[in-house]
Amino acid sequence: MAEVIRMPLMSDTMTEGVIVDWFYKVGDAVKSGDILAEVETDKATMELENYDDGVLLHIGVEKGKAALVNSIIAIIGKKGEDVKAILDSEPEIAGGEEPVKEEVAESEPAATPEPVATATPAKASTPKASPATSTASSNGKLKASPLAKSMAKESGIDITALKGSGDEGRIIKRDIEDAIANGVVPKAQASIALPVYSGEEGYTENTNSQMRKAIARRLGESKFSAPHFYLTMEINMDVAVESRKRLNEVSPVKISFNDLIVKACANALRKHPAVNSSWMGDTIRTYQHVHVGVAVAIEDGLIVPVIKFADGKSLAHISQETKDLAGKAKNKQLQPEEFSGNTFTISNLGMFGIEEFTAIVNPPDACILAVGAINKVPRVINDEIKVANVMKVTLSCDHRVVDGAVGAQFLNTVKSNLEDPVRMLI
């Protein structure tokens, strides 16, 4: 009996996925564990794994095209098995995209089965990559997965000098990892771009990724449906600066200022549960758990890994988990459960020298904290002018859930935690 593969739902915001590449064509034999295709979601590029032995009878969406979640993207079965009955019973295939044409032998129609494949992030294995003179296909295009290309660009590796270990010599993630480990591939010589002379007009256009579309949709909905207001406060970080130095003398991992901010907010959310809430239309949902999202900038846009139960974790635990999640985010390896479930979000641009900014509330949260840089500035302290380490923070609030006084009380608790970090250790 033929088995149907549908576009899986990989995040709570995903509505469709784009087929980046197919690794097999109609008529090819496939086995359980084979990677059939790469799928770009709104969060990451994932690999579509097969869980059944058979022949690829049907491809429902072409490379580069989008498919709606739960639509048929492939069918696997016995050689010559008829898939017409399955396709005829499907009201819509791949979001309206035309399926890839193929020839199949006529036989008894098969009943519609359950989905048998899900997308999972790529896993590294051990084969070694070695230099080669060419990795181009017959049409001159480089045969490499998007993830491999991204890793090569980030690591400064000349990907054209690698020999791929994937299907038909395709360069995949493990080839890049082995090249980095072995140090055998020099950085590619950058080409020199000619200047654009005065009077010349021009522009470039790039197709929006699924992630960029999701960011535009979700934040547009948030900005124009949730009435925002903003509360800005200065925090004296003198004691936090000194405390961080002392903590890092004994901590097994390096504690950052962002780790202190995550902990300060998590503790404040426990004290002010109204901020740890979501607008649900007819109700306001107040969470009993504290899951703090930390915005991470990546090449395609922005993703928010989540530190779950942050109020109960030590600074060292928060630091290590944040580093691990940020690394996965930049390599597009986050699992769906690692970027969902946030009840509050922090966006920190201090490391870029930004002193103050406002952020758009990240649904389903009611608030987001925008964190600026720590600067040495003159301030009046105990009637004397002194140089102080000052950080500005701005709390963006959904006024449907959080009122001004509630937001102000929350910010004052965050301020107290950071100006006297001992409070967070009790």
Are the beta carbons of 57 and 113 closer than 8 angstroms?
A: no
Q: How many CB atoms lie within 10 A of CB 225?
A: 12
Exposure of 311 in the CB half-sphere (CA atoms within 13 A)? 19
Tokens of 356: 């103050």
Q: Which of 294, 242, 239 is nearest to 263 (CA)?
A: 294
Strands 45-49 and 35-40: antiparallel
Exposure of 224 in the CB half-sphere (CA atoms within 13 A)? 6
Q: Can you point out the beta strands (E) in 50-164?
A: 54-59, 66-68, 72-77, 118-120
Which DSSP state fits 89?
Answer: T
Are the beta carbons of 365 and 293 closer than 8 angstroms?
A: yes
Residue with tokens 């069918």: 75
Exposure of 383 in the CB half-sphere (CA atoms within 13 A)? 0
Does 58 participate in catalysis according to the annotation? no
Given the residues 228, 289, 317, 399, the one annotated as active site: 399
Are the beta carbons of 313 and 307 closer than 8 angstroms?
A: yes
3-class SS string, 144-200: ECHHHHHHHHHHCCCHHHECCCCHHHCECHHHHHHHHHHCCCCCCCCCCCCCCCCCC
Distance of CA 234 to the CA centre of its chain: 31
3-class SS string, 248-309: HHHCCCCCCHHHHHHHHHHHHHHHCCCCCEEECCCCEEECCCCEEEECEEECCEEECCEEEC
How many Å apart are CA 367 and CA 5, to the nearest integer? Answer: 39
- Residues with a known catalytic role: 399
